[in-house]
Amino acid sequence: MKTCLVVDDSGVVRKIARRILEEMGFEITEAEDGEKALEVCKLAMPNAVLLDWNMPVMDGYEFLGHLRRLPGGDVPKVVFCTTENGMDHISRALHAGANEYIMKPFDKDIVAAKFQEVGLVELSEPTPV
Amino acid sequence: MTPPDYEYLRKLLKDHSGLDLSADKQYLIESRLLPLSRKCGLAGISELVQKMKGGASTIVAQVVEAMTTNETFFFRDKVPFDHFRDSIVPEVLKARAARKSIRIWCAAGSTGQEPYSLAMSLKEMSAALAGWRIEIIATDLSQEVLEKSKAGIYSQFEVQRGLPIQMLVKYFKQNGELWQINADIRAMVQHRQLNLLHDFSQLGMFDVIFCRNVLIYFDQDTKINIFGRLAKSMEADGFLVLGAAETVVGLTDVFKPFPDKRGLYRPNAARAATAAPKIAAMAGR
Ligand SMILES: C[S@@+](CC[C@H](N)C(=O)[O-])C[C@H]1O[C@@H](n2cnc3c(N)ncnc32)[C@H](O)[C@@H]1O
């Protein structure tokens, strides 16, 4: 089973994301800031990281920088999921090695589309209408 | 809604847009037309019907537009756009090397996501297409969606459905919560209002036709008729791309499925060969 680490300081957001991603067949671990997320990754690299930007202790951007320098840290597909919806933030994230970017608010369709985009889930049945 | 009003609307829609409603779609009509009748200052659907019977053609157009389903998104279903990049364009590059032009038609372009997805795909291949003349024509029945398509302005939600983030960064400008596709991509797409029930031969001949998620609303005879006319608007070595729930199989042999490429069809050469002697004979006379 594919694993996804959900990193967000809001318990509510983590819960919503967990529900959506579990439905898509992922096994979920959670972390409430970048530092805790790094600990999780050092133990076992997940297949995917859904990553908030603004968090206490260590933000998502800094986490990504550290992650990509870890052994095997280039493997996880990192999908930002943040209220930071400016072009400048998106560009910075991509330069730092993010694979996709979700602007909050998000829903199931968006998460599914973005995870398809990075090749982590099969194409769903095409929508007929 | 009274049964006669429903029948009147069903027939009207069938005649004007091809929309083929089954006998039990009252809720659909109500959900789309009650807001419209309110907007026109009318009490309800029977008043709307009265107005139309009295010959209010502007209301007819509004009713027809209100009943269209305009749902679409960027790179919808993904696979057809992979076919476009990996099979269709390389093939056309070879076949049209002398003429160096490619004509593409989006026959139900809706709010623009489909034609602009094609335009962005071509932009990504611009090295191979240097010096080529590219035409993308987006048509739709609905004037309203065409206006939105021309503007090329999308909500945050719309740009997150199907559009890879790199493409958003590369081809869009942000304006608050809205995103506008860049002027050079907009300039690649021409817009025309066009009803597929009417003659479209004036658009000329195409190398590629995307006609997706529109025939699905029509009855069998209408589909067959449109396939026949699409075939006449397509070069003998062109490509037709249909929606995921659409096919020519069992309806017509003017197109045939492209092996192993779902949703992709080509004009049927065997058909053309049987038609050719007739033309030759006529030319000889
Ligand atoms: C569901 S959208 C499909 C958009 C796009 N091709 C896609 O697959 O995402 C269907 C479009 O067909 C248009 N349409 C419906 N009847 C039509 C007709 N008779 N002639 C031309 N367009 C029509 C509608 O206005 C609508 O924008």
Helix (H) or strand (E) holding B53: helix B45-53
> All domains of chain B, ordered by start, with CATH?
3-68 (1.10.155), 79-272 (3.40.50.150)
Does the distance separating the beta carbons of A106 and B164 come in below 8 Å? no
Q: pLDDT by residue for chain B (285 residues), tens digit each?
A: 899 999 999 999 999 999 999 999 999 999 999 999 999 999 999 999 999 998 888 899 999 999 999 999 999 999 999 999 999 999 999 999 999 999 999 999 999 999 999 999 999 999 999 999 999 999 999 999 999 999 999 999 999 999 999 999 999 999 988 999 999 999 999 999 999 999 999 999 999 999 999 999 999 999 999 999 999 999 999 999 999 999 999 999 999 999 999 999 999 977 655 544 444 444 444
For residues B269 and B240, is the Cβ–Cβ distance under 8 A? no
CB A81 within 8 A of CB A8: yes
pTM score above 0.90: yes
**Cα atoms found within 13 Å of the Cα of residue B96, Cβ hemisphere only:** 24
Protein residues whose CB sits closer than 6 Å to any atom of ligand 1: B 17-18, 68-72, 76, 108, 110, 114, 140-142, 145, 195-197, 212-214, 243
- Residues 6 or more apart whose CB falls under 8 angstroms from that of A60 comprise A7, A34, A51, A52, A53, A54, A80, A82
List the single best residue of A82, A104, A117 to mutate versus B (max B Cβ within 10 A): A117
Q: How large is the ipTM?
A: 0.90
Interatomic CA distance for residues B221 and B251, integer angstroms = 9
Which structure tokens are listed for A118?
């990075």
Domains in chain A, start-ordered, CATH in brackets? 3-117 (3.40.50.2300)
- Please report the sign of the dihedral spanned by the C-alpha atoms of residue B182, residue B188, residue B190, residue B196: negative
Structure tokens at B210: 């995307």
